[in-house]
Structure 1
């Protein structure tokens, strides 16, 4: 039960980065044990410290592990790459930054190298809020066989149609290019799920959203789309808005789903 900063170098971004790493009780003493890993992603305007400072993540992890609701796990809280208001954890169309490559090829290998992880998809999960919810689903759906499970709280589970309606600004064009172009289609989460639905290595998906959240409709629409294409998943709705109070309260729901996925592989 300790949290430590972990600095490292990202070749994808050619920059020094840092993340926070939660280590469960007994990690330092029992050096023969390896642990599953959960990556916990922040939202727009956020940083690697926000789950700790605003989301009560350390206390939630301590309590769930102590109550045997979550197995002892390493939990990594990374930065999204630190550009602008938020990178969406994706490589930008205009070449601004390789934020997906930073996560896949720099961060994950760094954690697997320096900590006693179980380096296998069935023991690796990703979870995020808002922009981080998009990141969790995009990273897992676009990289089959890397994550066994992905979870989203109040996620921006967008399609290009939603982007066109709500966010047709220059910074979005810089991220995904022409809305009807192939790059945008590759990052449309509905299309990503449709492409992955028959894949044996598809990630297990969990998401929830507050019924008063401005992203409620896009979450409900994503649930409808997954039902339509036959992608098994778990979706829940709760009272609440797009706030840290909501995410703090419902982080245990996402972690419980991830624990179920870990347990199902035994």
Structure 2
């Protein structure tokens, strides 16, 4: 197990950032290039969460050793570090360019400094809760970058579907502007899925959620929306709540999906 800490400068946020990078077992003794998995944290979290709370490095070691996952580089970044969480998007009120930080700073940095296969066929993304939203959001906004996305207990809701009182009392007006405005529509997860449904290069999507999770209804609503627009996906539900016991147990399900997608690429 090797996890490095990589420091880089973000021009989008004009600040230094750090991410955790899992290096596969054969990296140091070979000259080959590797696919990359981006693994996102949730609300109130940080780049250390998956390794310190979710045993991600041990899970990756185990799946690679058993042959259930190919050797890959796994990047665990911060969300940009603002407020309770950034949702990995550029904020309407100008607080920060968190999507640009991810797309134009982080991804190019990883491709420059590690031996990656730098194309969408070998770059995938996953995350939990807010990071589950982020994985689907970034993949749907940038299908040229990410070929597949996986969400665990994701906040897969739609701003346009939020109750007015809930929207007004949340951070979302700062993130998206008016719920019915063009900025919000361009970043609405349901709308993004609708936009990409007919695209032959649309990202493949997998999501799972615990049946006792407070976001379970949100996940089933996203499932129904994908059904209504004819967007193919894989969905599973398991007993469980919104906690690290669930995410640690079901990270392998997301990684196996991503492996099955990678296996189909040329």
Name the TM tier (shorter chain): over 0.9
Q: Where in structure 2 are the equivalents of 1:23-172 lying within 5 Å?
A: 23-31=23-31, 33-164=32-163, 166-169=166-169, 171-172=171-172
Task: Give 1:183 deviation, angstroms.
Answer: 0.8
Which residue of 1 is the match for residue 176 of structure 2? 176
CA distance in 1, matches of 2:11, 2:251: 31
CA distance in 1, matches of 2:160, 2:194: 16
Contiguous gaps of at least 5 residues in structure 2: none
CA distance in 1, matches of 2:131, 2:19: 15
Contact 2:150/2:205 (<8 A) preserved:
yes
CA distance in 2, matches of 1:170, 1:234: 30
CA distance in 2, matches of 1:187, 1:131: 14
CA distance in 1, matches of 2:162, 2:211: 20
1:209 alignment partner, SS class: strand
2:262 alignment partner, SS class: helix
CA distance in 1, matches of 2:130, 2:221: 17
Task: Give 1:228 deviation, angstroms.
Answer: 1.1
CA distance in 1, matches of 2:155, 2:213: 11
Task: Give 1:209 deviation, angstroms.
Answer: 0.4
1:25 alignment partner, SS class: coil
Task: Give 1:161 deviation, angstroms.
Answer: 3.3
Contact 1:38/1:125 (<8 A) preserved:
yes
CA deviations on 1:35-84 (whole Å, 9 max, x unpaired) are: 00000000000000000010010000000000000000000000000111
Task: Give 1:168 deviation, angstroms.
Answer: 2.7
Contact 1:151/1:206 (<8 A) preserved:
yes
Task: Give 1:198 deviation, angstroms.
Answer: 0.8
- Larger CA deviation: 39-48 vs 160-169: 160-169
CA deviations on 1:105-154 (whole Å, 9 max, x unpaired) are: 00000000000000010100000000001100110001121101000000
Task: Give 1:170 deviation, angstroms.
Answer: 5.3
1:220 alignment partner, SS class: helix
Contiguous gaps of at least 5 residues in structure 1: none
CA distance in 2, matches of 1:141, 1:55: 26
Task: Give 1:23 deviation, angstroms.
Answer: 0.4
CA deviations on 1:190-244 (whole Å, 9 max, x unpaired) are: 1100000111221000000001101000100101111111101000010001000
Which residue of 2 is the match for residue 17 of structure 1? 17
Task: Give 1:178 deviation, angstroms.
Answer: 0.3
Which residue of 2 is the match for residue 189 of structure 1? 189
Q: Where in structure 2 are the equivalents of 1:198-237 lying within 5 Å?
A: 198-237=198-237
Contact 1:164/1:179 (<8 A) preserved:
no
Which residue of 2 is the match for residue 265 of structure 1? 265
Q: TM-score, normalised by structure 2?
A: 0.98
Contact 2:177/2:184 (<8 A) preserved:
yes
Q: TM-score, normalised by structure 1?
A: 0.98
